[in-house]
Structure 1
């Protein structure tokens, strides 16, 4: 809240817009923005809040104020006076709220559903076009805004829950006031504001609360590497080094250079400081004020919204020491909070480098406990489409898993068959329902935290090279004008219902399987087009058998698996409910997966 004298309109922004008492770290740095606000001297009227330092930077329209909030401070408001030439020219009422307490975090017991809000469902057609926003809705443009929003997600939470999902990851919903191609959410123009075409901050908070009421968690998608070219500060940067490479020098996208001991300084610098694209300036987290701003922004959203975890976009692109500092600061405040780093790298060792306590990173520790498992993604996609050989077909999966020793904890990896940047899984396996079921079977039984992309359950299609709009199509039935509603059984085709029912049954079963949520992984070398692995605890085991031959069934000798099978009693086929008492042989049809649950 701001009160100003009649001759002055400063400040126009104070960020974070509020804070909390009861935080573990009692330091707070305010960014204050307004015409020549840097020429004023701030003063605080509060007994338990004090100014530690005032930083005046090269742009006089900014002030950075370091506050110390006493551990005994109470929730409420206090005044910040801005004085100039001995006179108070502006006064700002800053609010402190009481910090909440709640359990947070997600784990391998969860199944995450990734939703792109603009493409999922339009719950409020009234916000499709907003006067202050540059881009208007146009469903005829695959790369334009289509009108989906947070209310659309809320309207379909029961569908997501009934599908067997326990967590929702929503692509960025922050303001993206860009001329075009802004629907994806990664060109942020205000880090503290929900895009009004998607809803409001309060609506997002309501989405989190409603999800929690339905026993589902929420993962926020955050961006610290870059912002949108139309971000409000781009027209009036606080400092010249607030962003990197003002000439829009583009990154080389080679995340391997961070871990590569032979990488040139040139390549590393281009990767870390180059712009992601020409409309997304690269933020310089080596600037201490920007670093504080981004860290506090993450903390603000965690506390304001009540989310359970964060997915950090493009983790390797941000300055690696900043990432460590960010992760440690979040963990300091919220020890059970889960941070997922996007590490889009093809090799296990390169991915493992960016995980917390990595055995391959030498002196570097990211403190990011959870990472995206792209090596396993590539292995599953390629393996199901290849003819089996010594290193091909199902052996692709085997060899990736055989390198799990490079991770601190591979069970914390997030595993997936596709996402908003990749070919739709059903398309990547040639729209073959049998390969689709094999992939889903692997995803929902493999070590790690599984994630599914919206619409995969109804066999949505799209190839990345044809344009991102084709891998981010609207969910059928999310708009009132849609000819069919795939949120309902009646609105789906027979083939779509086959995919949906397979996913739903396996996901529902997975919710009660301790072996999949907590168990160890034991696998056996692929032989004769087959691959067998177990997830097991002391009391139960899940046996997964894959036959990758395109035409021939396979019968395998159960004696090979006695070291695991002899510890348990009879089994049950998860998909058919059939009792499995004979462990001597197991037979599979061509291109199929069989999942058997054994208990003591």
Structure 2
């Protein structure tokens, strides 16, 4: 399809569609980059029924093979260079791993952008789109996308697709009319439009007249409606990422900013480009039976544009029976900004990529006070809300991701700097606290990528030339891996108890002597302690806890709600990374008259969940 006019929406919307979930906070998300997840050629992984698959060519990675791609400097350079380009993941490969994800407990997939990139581009991540109505051929076909969604739905898994409104790929080139480009980069934003040398052709050269119709599907931008010259702001790349209006109108590096319209939020006038993109994404909802969108770079769009998009998408989804189609916005700039913009624009949730990942990672590693994390959910009066339960479905929480903007040029997964013994605690904190939990692909296998570029935290789970743990030609879909198995058990408990998905949340005070209670805090810049929190629901209390000490057992009195957990009541262990604790009970005592508390012991680097007895 080359234009929106080629789409028969009347026929498309006559199909039956998969219904939305009643509550997104009940789901556990899993985010993967299509190019880095699976190519379907792995040997011995387990199929949808749990049976080993024969015939694959890529063996499972063993610990002894970690580093097999970097034994010499030429080999290491080849491995590093491979990470900067497409390495071979496909939609069919992703569909083959639905069983792996289902057994982990995943109930919603967040899939990176799948749309066609410029054929000469190495934009394996998918965020530099050239054709918004076509699938990137290196990932597969539009039928492959629909097959992935159908397979996921058949196994109780929803699918959220990553979409981009703010920009297209490097589809045209600037003319150096005011000053030459810097170090081969596009000219910087200075508030004035630049001349355009031409649309880029299929080889990436600006040989086609800008503003004139283009026939080659591998050149310029598609659908054809976007080829109008006013579709792009043409103001050069962003240099100051927080300077208004530069961050709204400038290009994302070489990705060209799309002109979405003008006006204040209540009187916004959408451009033809925004109307075109909105209709294109409505097509994908109906064609592939999608359940939601993750909307990229919301901070860099006019709020009126986001509001227009959310209204039109929600209305379209409801018209085909998807009453709770979700729209999750990537909004940088801090918590208050994210939630204010979310409410103003009609987005359903914000992606917690600023404070939340930092606090989860470094709380677990003993380098943040627990209150720094839990207060992100407590101070809801600042946001015009009177209960922190509002956060339960308004934020998607995660700690590793594909960008790690917060870490600058020092990217590193949680497990990269000795965090592996504590990795389960990070997953537990993510899954068992407020918000919609999201697992970044490979976290369940302890992937430990690190380096000065995004590529190093985007390892290929299936191996190939840029495999995980600095390997090649070995895959990591290991369902016997202890971290995978323990996370599956944790997610199962999360799914069995509504309180762990929707309950109110409180960080609990602790005491060593039963007399002096206070929130756990760092001493000497380090936290080595039991950290416990309660989830309250229907006048009952569930207790979750981790031990941030990777080397030794920790114990403490843990305070509970004075009225909900009366003296002599009991909490039973529903989950523990120490199997000996499961089924054991904690008895609520009064170590001092005005407190209700339980004595809790946790082995090194362990976590546990306790619930009320029947």
Normalising to structure 2: TM-score of the pair? Answer: 0.71
- Matched residue, 1:470: 456
| Match for residue 585 of structure 1 among 599, 605, 612 | 599
* Gapped regions of structure 2 (runs ≥ 5): 43-77, 172-217, 262-269, 405-410, 510-518, 522-528, 589-597
Structure in which a larger fraction of residues adopt strand = 1
Offset at residue 431 of structure 1 (A): 2.7
How many residues are matched? 470
- Matched residue, 1:384: 364
Q: Distance in 1 between matches of 2:414 and 2:154?
A: 32
Given that residues 533 and 543 in structure 1 are in contact (C-alpha distance below 8 angstroms), is that contact kept between their aligned partners in structure 2? yes
Offset at residue 274 of structure 1 (A): 0.6
Given that residues 542 and 595 in structure 1 are in contact (C-alpha distance below 8 angstroms), is that contact kept between their aligned partners in structure 2? yes
- Matched residue, 1:62: none
Given that residues 174 and 195 in structure 1 are in contact (C-alpha distance below 8 angstroms), is that contact kept between their aligned partners in structure 2? yes
Distance 1:542 1:285, change over 3 A: same
* CA deviations over 1:88-138 (Å, ceiling 9, x no partner): xxxxxxxx652544412561111111111111111379xxxxxxxxxxx99
Offset at residue 328 of structure 1 (A): 1.2
- Matched residue, 1:369: 348
Q: Distance in 1 between matches of 2:463 and 2:276?
A: 40
| Match for residue 172 of structure 1 among 91, 97, 113 | 113
| Match for residue 527 of structure 1 among 504, 515, 520 | 520
Q: Distance in 2 between matches of 1:368 and 1:218?
A: 17
| Match for residue 476 of structure 2 among 466, 486, 499 | 486
- Matched residue, 2:20: 104
Q: Would you say 1:437 and 2:451 are equivalent positions?
A: no
* Gapped regions of structure 1 (runs ≥ 5): 1-11, 22-74, 76-95, 126-136, 255-266, 357-364, 491-496
Offset at residue 210 of structure 1 (A): 1.0
Offset at residue 298 of structure 1 (A): 1.7
Distance 1:328 1:288, change over 3 A: same
- Matched residue, 1:415: 397
Offset at residue 484 of structure 1 (A): 4.0
Q: Would you say 1:460 and 2:401 are equivalent positions?
A: no
SS in 2 for 1:574: strand
Given that residues 165 and 274 in structure 2 are in contact (C-alpha distance below 8 angstroms), is that contact kept between their aligned partners in structure 1? no
- Matched residue, 2:33: 116
Normalising to structure 1: TM-score of the pair? Answer: 0.72
- Matched residue, 1:361: none
Structure with the bigger RCO (C-alpha within 8 Å, sep 6+) is 2
Distance 1:18 1:535, change over 3 A: same
- Higher alpha-carbon deviation: 480-489 or 141-150: 480-489
- Matched residue, 2:542: 542
- Matched residue, 2:592: none
Offset at residue 406 of structure 1 (A): 3.8
SS in 1 for 2:6: coil
Please give the root-mean-square deviation of Cα atoms over the aligned residues, in Å.
2.9
- Matched residue, 1:339: 327
| Match for residue 305 of structure 2 among 305, 309, 322 | 322
Distance 1:437 1:14, change over 3 A: closer
SS in 2 for 1:556: strand
SS in 2 for 1:354: helix
- Higher alpha-carbon deviation: 453-462 or 548-557: 548-557
Given that residues 464 and 474 in structure 2 are in contact (C-alpha distance below 8 angstroms), is that contact kept between their aligned partners in structure 1? no
Offset at residue 581 of structure 1 (A): 4.0
Q: Distance in 1 between matches of 2:271 and 2:570?
A: 60
* Equivalent residue runs for 1:390-405 within 5 Å: 392-405=368-381
